[in-house]
Structure 1
């Protein structure tokens, strides 16, 4: 691997830590739900808000991150996200009551929202076209690693708590954080990598495309030279400048011509991805497994296995994203998810919901999701918009993710009380059927295209539509 490739991987891995905390911060909640619910006596709607509060914060973070990243740069917003996430982890650990706990969950959600928008956006802008899909998929890979580590951390801390309680050793800070109230230790585990994220954000450069759009061409040239090599730097800068010079930077452009199609694609992929029920499975997975007869400790252990599958099949996406392309992976994954959800629904509806069968089918669902819908929505939304409005455009698609998550996670505890869980999974399967036709008929293949080539594609489509309107008017 060349020195420039080493540098690119370092930059992208640091940025992808935003994905790590996305996975860890939102999934750490799965191990704390029953513990916090018992301690504070939550009703179903309060349980839903405890889970969805971070998502509400993420919506707010994403809403402001788009404009902030376009104005102040991608790097500064990554640092902001890292700092907020660390503060949230410490705040949740030492929360004195339910209200303060939920407040710090909201704060953490804000940081996750910023990171979710800026991390893949930054990676897409700094990566060469031939590896951009793979590099953006690192963000999804980091999410899966964060999920896996959080699940193992939750399981280990719960087992440690059981041991401390059995021995009666509940004195001091260790006994309090990891014995009597182990949910605090689960949140504390997030703070340790948070320190490294804050510090590493100081070592990465700004996005060269953002620098060029803000008149800092020399800095951009130095960064591109280190990432892609000097022989490509001048050519890339010329292409970027040509495309940016033709951009108006108007937010309204996103609702016209080809860019309107691009926005529709990004939003639709976000809706389909979240309405697949992935966050319900990860947030409420241990609770679902408990419903099938497993103890909390066993359900956390079984769910950790699901986390491993998530990581392994995201590696498949890393390998195939720039080989097979986006469309083939998404089609295969969508069909697989539909079949897995249908099988889960049938198990529940026929009372065959044994622990082993559920874990196996949830692993199948997560595997199909991990190499397709999970990473591809981030890859597509971060490569199909113009540079000057990319931050705000990605914000719309990312907010869509959080709104869908907030809706599902708020109402799932109430729905499972009145609707069979099996019926809910059948619904998840049915809602994904239209995505098959959407991918075949609407979504373009962007494998191997530079960001400037993709932008030119939409510009050409807009010009053709405008010409068609003029011809119709004359007729």
Structure 2
């Protein structure tokens, strides 16, 4: 492996730390819902608000991230997101009221929204075509590692709180023993500070530098990425050529039906993907497991198993996404999701009569997570980071990201209502039905992007594909 590839890998891993924070912040909530609900006497809708408030922040973050990244650069927006994560983690650990806790969760959510747009965009813009899918998938892998990290922290802190012996008048007693949910949320401070520090060691996106007419800086970065001054100049010329074909503002570009089409498709798959069940499992998994008869501790342990399968499967997806292609992974994975979701629905309706134990439910959940991780979870950020022209990429990803986080908010807010009114069986049947339109859009409307440069994908949507 030459120095250029190693350097690109370093840049991708650095940006992917944002994915770890995304995953941790998203999943840590699952182990705190019961504790926070009991402490503040929350009803079902208030519990939904506790889960969903961070998603309100994510919607705000994603709404401004694209435009902000186009104005001040990808790197500075990642730095801002790292700062927001740190403030949120510290605030959640020491907050005095539920209202303040919600505010700090919203601040962290804004960090999630920003990093969910800018980190994969940055990786996509520094990665060579042949490795782009795998490198952007590092971001998704980091998310799953963040999920697993949150589950492990929740499980270990809950276990530790029973035997820890802090002075009852100290902050450590409050955070790690008396109200252990504070420690679960506060542990995010460590990776957020790490992210903030390592970001100072990476350059700005070279494609953004070209769009901003900073050609000397772009030349230096491209030369580091490709190891050749001639290749760097060639890449700058290619980006300039494509930018000249769309020589207008991003909002005016949206009036072009050829540009609007991929933006609408991106919105559709981002929104639909949230109603296929994965975030309901990540947020409410322990509660769902408890409904099957498990104790709280066993439910958290099962959730750790879910997180482990999520990580291992994402590693597999990372290794094959550029070889197999984005669309083939979706066909395989979503088909499996439908089967597993229908099976989970059957479990909650007829499992007792069929003699199915809670272990059967665990197997079905793990198969569902496997199918999700190898398909829609691995593919979504790859597709969104490479579907759009350079000049409109920040705005278009904000629009698609807004749809994604709107869907995530709705599913986080509505899942308690679904479980209460439809029951687990009806809830998972609904998720299975939502897989069908997603599969259709990928099949009929989205081109295979594996192996194509960002400029070639742009030419495809503009109807100027090179022969």
TM-score category by the smaller chain? over 0.9
Q: CA deviation at 1:168?
A: 9.1
1:305 matched to 2:308? The reply is no
* Corresponding residue for residue 108 of structure 2: 108
**Mind listing any 5+ residue stretches in structure 2 that lack a counterpart?**
none
Cα distance in 2 for partners of 1:283, 1:229 equals 44
SS at match of 2:452: coil
Is contact 1:349–1:420 with CA below 8 Å preserved after alignment?
no
Pairs within 5 Å for 1:87-98: 87-98=87-98
142-151 or 372-381, which moves further after superposition?
372-381
Deviations 1:393-452 (A, max 9, x none): 000111111101111111211222221111110110011112233222211001111111
Give me the CA root mean square deviation: 1.5
SS of the equivalent of 1:432 reads helix
Taking structure 1 as reference, are residues 106 and 384 closer, same or farther at Cα in structure 2, changes over 3 Å only? same
Q: Does the 8 Å CA contact 2:44/2:417 hold for their aligned counterparts?
A: yes
1:264 Cα deviation after fit:
2.3
**Cα shift at 1:461:** 6.3
Q: Secondary structure at the match of 1:293?
A: coil
Distance 1:255 1:349, change over 3 A: farther
| 1:222 equivalent in structure 2 | 220
Contact 1:84 1:108 (C-alpha < 8 Å) held by counterparts: yes
The answer on whether the counterparts of 1:325 and 1:447 sit within 8 Å (CA) in structure 2 is: yes
Task: Give the Å deviation of 1:153.
Answer: 0.5
- Structure 1 segment 39-438 matched on structure 2, within 5 A: 39-164=39-164, 170=168, 172-230=170-228, 231-247=230-246, 248-352=248-352, 354-438=357-441
Secondary structure at the counterpart of residue 462 of structure 2:
helix
| Alpha-carbon distance between aligned partners in 2 of 1:177 and 1:355, rounded to the nearest angstrom | 32
Farther-moved stretch of structure 1 (121-130 vs 433-442): 433-442
Aligned partners of 1:258 and 1:461 also within 8 Å: no
Paired residues of 2:54 and 2:109 also in contact (CA < 8 A): yes
Kept after mapping to 1: 8 A contact 2:166/2:172: no
- SS for the counterpart of 1:400 is helix
Deviations 1:89-119 (Å, cap 9, x if unpaired)?
0000001010100110000000110000100
What TM-score do the two structures reach when normalised by structure 2? 0.96
* Number of positions where the alignment pairs a residue of Structure 1 with one of Structure 2: 460
Secondary structure (helix, strand or coil) at the match of 2:324 reads: coil
Whole-angstrom CA distance in 1 between matches of 2:296 and 2:176: 16
Distance 1:40 1:208, change over 3 A: same
Cα distance in structure 1, aligned partners of 2:27 and 2:306: 12
Q: Is 312-321 or 266-275 further displaced after alignment?
A: 266-275
* Cα offset, 1:241, TM superposition: 1.0
Quick check: 2:273–2:438 contact (8 Å CA) kept in 1? no
Q: C-alpha separation between the residues in 2 aligned to 1:343 and 1:275?
A: 17
Report SS of the residue matched to 2:175.
helix
Q: For structure 1, which segment, 338-347 or 411-420, has the greater mean C-alpha deviation from structure 2 after superposition?
A: 411-420
Supply the distance in 2 between the matched residues of 1:4 and 1:112 (Cα, whole angstroms).
29
Contact 1:384 1:455 in 2 (8 A): yes
Residue 27 (structure 1) shift = 0.8
Q: How far off its partner does 1:255 sit? A: 4.4
Which stretch shifts more, 447-456 or 254-263? 254-263
Mapped contact 1:134–1:321 kept (Cα < 8 A): yes
Measured against aligned partners, the alpha-carbon deviations of 1:169-214 in whole angstroms (never above 9, x if no partner) come to: 7453332211111001101211111111011111111000000011
Q: Which is further off, 76-85 or 293-302?
A: 293-302
Quote the residue 2:463 is aligned against: 460
Alignment partners' CA distance in 2, 1:395 and 1:420: 34
Decide which moves more: 187-196 or 91-100.
187-196
Q: Are the aligned partners of 1:303 and 1:359 in contact in 2 as well (CA < 8 Å)?
A: no
Separation in 1, partners of 2:287, 2:423: 14
Once the two structures are TM-superposed, the CA of residue 375 in structure 1 deviates from its matched residue by 2.1
Higher mean C-alpha displacement, 414-423 vs 432-441:
432-441
In 1, distance between residues paired with 2:166 and 2:252? 63
Structure 2: distance between partners of 1:169 and 1:357? 43
Indicate conservation of the 8 Å contact 1:212/1:220, yes or no.
yes
Q: 1: distance between equivalents of 2:414 and 2:436?
A: 23
Paired position in structure 2 for 1:468? none
Give, in whole Å, the separation in 2 of the partners of 1:98 and 1:290: 25
Q: State how far apart, in whole Å, the 1-side matches of 2:226 and 2:295 are.
A: 52
